[in-house]
Amino acid sequence: MTDDGPPPHMSHRPEVGAGVEGIDLSNRTALVTGSTAGIGRETALALGRLGATVFVHGRNRDAGRQVASAIDDAGGEAIFFRADLADVETVHRLADEVRDRTDRLDILVNNAGAHFSTGQLTADDVEKTFAVNHLAPFVLTHDLRDVLSEDGRVVTVSSGVHPRADGTFDVTTVDHYDGLDAYARSKLANILFTVGLARRLDGPTANCCHPGLVPSSHLWREASIPVRLGVGLLSLLPHRLVSGFADTPATGAETTVYLAASPAVEGTSGRYFSDCAPEEPSALATDEALVRKLWELSEELSGVSWS
C-alpha cells in the first residue's frame, strides 16, 4: 500500500475549491460571525490565508482564540470578538466593538446560525431561531453600513431548506413551534433580506448562499435528539460515501469564500448562490411584497430604521 497523503477532503481548502486561492486580500478587513467552528471557522481561516485581517466572532472565548491564533500562525492577523447574537442589545454592542477597531470593513459574512428543537423567546420577545439567524444580521449590517467600503461585500449564509417556509412571519410566539419550520423561515428571511439590502446599499454588494448540508456543523447542537443522531451518523461516515449529498465544513465554506473574494462577482448584488454559481431561490424569496413586509417587520422588532 502506498501513502498518497490524506484524503482530499481532509486537506481541502475552501479558497482552492472556490478558485480564489490566488486572490490577495491584504489590506482588507473581514468580519465573520459564528466563526469559532464549522463553516464559519473554515471561512475565517480561508480569508486569513488570503491575507485579510479577520475579525473572528463567537460565543466561546477559548474556541475563538484558537481560530484567531491559527490565522496568526498562518501569517495573517485576527482579533476575536465574543457576543451572543440572540438579543438586539448584544448585536449593537458587537457592532460598536468592531467600529472601535476599524473605520473600514470590506467583507461582512453573516454566517452565525442556530437550530432549536424547542420554541424559545428572546429577551426582545422574538422567536430565538428568527432572532439569531435573521434579526441579528439585519441589525449588525445596519450598524456597520457606514464603515462598509465602497466595494465592500455582505455575504449572508442562507440554506436550501428555505422553500419549506410558507412566507408567514409570526415570530412573536412559539405556539405550535416546529424547529425545522422555524429554521426554514429564518433562511427564507436571509434571502429576502439580501434582496432588500442590495437595493439600499450604494456601492457595497449583498449576496447570499446555500452552503450545502454539513452534518458535522455545530448548527445542530440544539436540534432534537433524532436530528442530532441523524446528522451525527452522517458526520461519522467516510466522505466518499456521502459526498453526493453532504459536505464537510471546508467544502461547505466554498461558496461563502467565493462570494467574499472572487472578482467574478464584483458588482453582482441581490443574488442567491449555490456551489459557487447563481441559482434561483423559491418564488417567495424574491416576492416584492414579502421583501417589504419582512423589512418593515424587522425594523419594528429590532427598533432600528434604515434610511
Residue 217 phi, psi (nearest 5): -65, 145
Query: Contact at 8 Å (CB) between 272 and 194?
Result: yes
Write down the pLDDT at residue 277. Answer: 98
User: Cβ–Cβ contacts within 10 Å for residue 173, how many?
Assistant: 12
Q: Is residue 69 part of a domain?
A: yes
Retrieve residue 69's grid coordinates.
491564533
Q: Is residue 4 part of a domain?
A: no
Cell of 178: 416546529
Radius of gyration of the chain from its Cα atoms, rounded to whole angstroms: 18
C-alpha cell recorded at residue 58: 463567537
* Residues above pLDDT 90, as percent of the chain: 82
Look at residue 206 and tell me if it is in a domain. yes
How does pLDDT run across 142-174, given as a tens digit for each residue? 999 999 999 999 999 999 999 999 999 999 999
Query: In this structure, is residue 228 part of a structural domain?
Result: yes
The helix/strand/coil state of 107 is: strand
CATH label of the domain that carries residue 215 = 3.40.50.720
The grid coordinates of residue 1 equal: 500500500
Residue 136 has pLDDT above 60, yes or no: yes
Q: Please tell me the pTM assigned to this model.
A: 0.88
Residue 7 in any domain: the answer is no
**For residues 182 and 179, what is the distance between their CA atoms, to the nearest angstrom?**
5
Active site residues: 183
What is the predicted pLDDT for the residue at 212? 84
Indicate the number of domains in the chain.
Answer: 1
- Alpha carbon separation from 81 to 117, 149, 277 (Å, rounded): 27, 21, 31
Residue 290 lies in a domain: yes
What does the pLDDT look like over 43-101, one tens digit per residue? Answer: 999 999 999 999 999 999 999 999 999 999 988 899 999 999 999 999 999 999 999 99
- pLDDT above 60: residue 228: no
Range of the domain at 166: 19-302
pLDDT band with cut points at 50, 70 and 90 for residue 3: very low
Q: What is the mean pLDDT of residues 227-255?
A: 61
